[in-house]
Amino acid sequence: MRKTALITVSLPPAMAAKSAKFARKQNMTRSELFRTALRNYLEEVQLDEAIRIAEEEFRTGKAKLLPKGGLVALMRKK
């Protein structure tokens, strides 16, 4: 049984050629290149969402802040 899903993507010819050339330079297959690119994009979107939530919490006063002295002070309390 297959452990991956096969997905077909259409690219403009110039982008397809550029991606193939870049993948070769990086010693990766095109599949590896696109997996890495998608993984990085998804992580970036997740980080952007976390930043948006943190900014909203700071703006509304709901953010939980570390005590003076930071993490060390918090750990010493316990």
- The model's pLDDT over 2-14, given as tens digits with 9 standing for 90+, comes to 888 999 999 999 9
pLDDT bin (cut points 50, 70, 90) of residue 78 is low
* Domain spans, the chain: 13-77
- From CA 57, how far away is CA 36, in angstroms rounded? 31
Percent of the chain past pLDDT 90, that is, above it, reads 71
- Spatial contact of 30 and 20, defined as CB atoms under 8 Å apart: yes
- The model's pLDDT over 31-50, given as tens digits with 9 standing for 90+, comes to 999 999 999 999 999 999 99
- The model's pLDDT over 54-66, given as tens digits with 9 standing for 90+, comes to 999 989 999 888 7
Burial class (CB in 10 A: 0-12, 13-18, 19+), 40: exposed
Residue 10 pLDDT: 97
Q: What is the pTM of this model?
A: 0.72
